[in-house]
Amino acid sequence: MKYACLIYNKKKDPDGAAAHGRDALTVRVRNGRLSAAEGPAAEGPAADPEERLHRVVLIQARDLNDAVRVAARMPEAQFGSIEIRPVEEPG
Amino acid sequence: MVYRAESRRVLATLIRLLGDFDLAEEAMHDAFTAAVEQWPRDGVPANPRAWLVSTGRFKGVDTLRRRARFDASLVKIAEDLELGAADAAGREHGELEDDRLRLIFTCCHPALAPEAQAALTLREVCGLTTEEIARAFLAGAPTMAQRIVRAKRKIRDARIPYQVPPKEDLPARLDSVLRVVYLVFTEGYAPSAGPSLVRADLSAEATRLGRLILELLPEPEVMGLLALMLLHESRRAARTSPSGELVLLDDQDRSLWNREQIAEGVALVERALASRRVGPYTLQAAIAAVHAEAPSASATDWGRIVGFYDVLQAAYPSPVVELNRAAAVAMREGPAAGLALIDALLARGDLGDYHLAHAARADLCRRLGRTADARASYTRALALVGQEPERRFLQKRLSELPG
């Protein structure tokens, strides 16, 4: 299964807003504590309105929680938000 | 499949060695990645599991050391883990099997919500993916992933010890483990909405888990639960008609019952009963065993079944047990006797919202020729039923009542 990581932070302006998604899960690490919140990065109590979509990374993971493990290792997880979505493979 | 089985064992041991779920998963992942690179080149090690564990431990300590550059508090932990490596190596062997049991008890710890216990057990012990678990419980994958992340954080924050509970706590803690296994089983067994294949897998997973626990901890109630699952499972092929309609126990084609599962289930019930430490799973399994061994509904030893229900009701009273007992009494003494018990039960208000209570009442009224009462109870049951096959079954019964 492939997953896309939509990486948000405050430093760069967005090219476009992320579409609304029920399949989204947002990962953040603050003070060494990992959290995973249902829904896109721009929604929910932990959303930071100043965050903008920064880059998209495609990762390979065994399942959604394994994708959380990979996302939590990305540096931006420490200060930004990483939104995970499943990617439909063409075919 | 090999990866799945091995990775769960390796994970279970790494959690003990590294003391942290997430770190252990990370380390296991690194160890398997290293194996993919090195084994084709250098050959498969003599003991692959031990290789994976020691590589994983090394990688885990390494990860902590790297993190320690940013967080001084981790230096001590990394050092302790390295020191521990030497003296742990000696007593490694016997602990490996215990690690799986430790993992089961940790995943089913009562400090975690029951849904979280089931999700965590299925993922960490059985190796199911988050997506599979979500489908089985008819939830979204993000919901399930969030639940799993929170459960792991709770284990860390509450410092839930990674151990098989001490003898005095064992009965209560084992209850919690068995409840999770049975919950997984019933989720797979109930023919409700959702992709049916995945859900049958869930029952098989629960049975496999039951076998594993029995192997690690041969307690009578573990035998009872495994027996109960096997005896239920033995009827799976007979429970639905080719067109997907529900077939009640009394009407099932018993030649479709799986004799192998019945033989294994009955043997387990006998072992559990012989222990003289009889719990609710064993009693339910004993009842299922009486059904399983009867050539037909009418040739069933209903007296024995009522007897087991009496013991069950005395030791673990519940209105559902009373309802089932009433149905057995109806078979032994006739519908009127059963109906009196169900009416008394409903009058107490305990099962007013339970569709099966009304369905059972409707069935007894039908057999007594009390058509109007039967119609009223079928209608009430239909208003409460959630599962589609059951709804169709009740609808059919209702439409078959004489005008």
Instruction: Report the residue of B124, B129, B152, B153 to disrupt the A interface, i.e. the one with the largest count of A CBs within 10 Å.
Output: B129
Cβ contact B81:B65 at 8 Å: no
- Measured CA to CA, the distance from residue B335 to residue B325 in angstroms comes to 13
- Radius of gyration for the alpha carbons in chain B, expressed in angstroms and rounded: 25
Chain A CA closest to residue B132: A63
Nearest-Cα distance to chain B for A6, in Å, is 15
Cβ contact A40:A24 at 8 Å: yes
Burial letters B244-266, b for 16+ CB under 10 A, else e:
eebbeeeebeeeebbeebbebbb
- Measured CA to CA, the distance from residue B181 to residue B210 in angstroms comes to 7
- Measured CA to CA, the distance from residue B384 to residue B305 in angstroms comes to 28
**Would you give the DSSP letter of residue B240?**
B
Q: How do residues B200-241 score in pLDDT, each as one tens digit?
A: 678 888 999 999 999 989 999 999 999 999 999 999 889 888
Inform me whether the pLDDT recorded for B161 exceeds 90: no
Cβ contact B134:B140 at 8 Å: yes
Record: contact B146-A39, CB cut-off 8 A: no
**Would you give the DSSP letter of residue B387?**
-
Q: For B149, which of A68, A73, A86 is closest by C-beta distance?
A: A68
Record: contact B22-A69, CB cut-off 8 A: yes
**Residues present in chain B in total:** 403
- Measured CA to CA, the distance from residue B276 to residue B382 in angstroms comes to 42
Instruction: Report the pLDDT value the prediction gives residue B257, as an integer from 0 to 100.
Output: 96
- Measured CA to CA, the distance from residue B364 to residue B286 in angstroms comes to 25
Q: Which of B13, B22, B7, B8 is nearest to B154 (CA)?
A: B22
Q: Which residues contact B91 (CB under 8 A, 6 or more apart)?
A: none
- Encoded amino acid at B125, one letter: V
Residues of A in contact with B129 (CB under 8 A): 1, 62-64
Chain B CA closest to residue A25: B142
- For residue A3, count other CB atoms closer than 10 A to its CB: 22
Task: Establish whether this prediction's ipTM goes over 0.90.
Answer: no
Chain A CA closest to residue B73: A32
- Interface of A to B at Cβ within 8 Å reads 1, 22-25, 32-39, 62-66, 68-69, 72-73, 86
**pLDDT (average), residues A33-41:** 91
Q: How do residues B19-30 score in pLDDT, each as one tens digit?
A: 888 899 999 999
Which range (A82-86, B28-32, B159-163, B328-332) has the least confidence?
A: B159-163
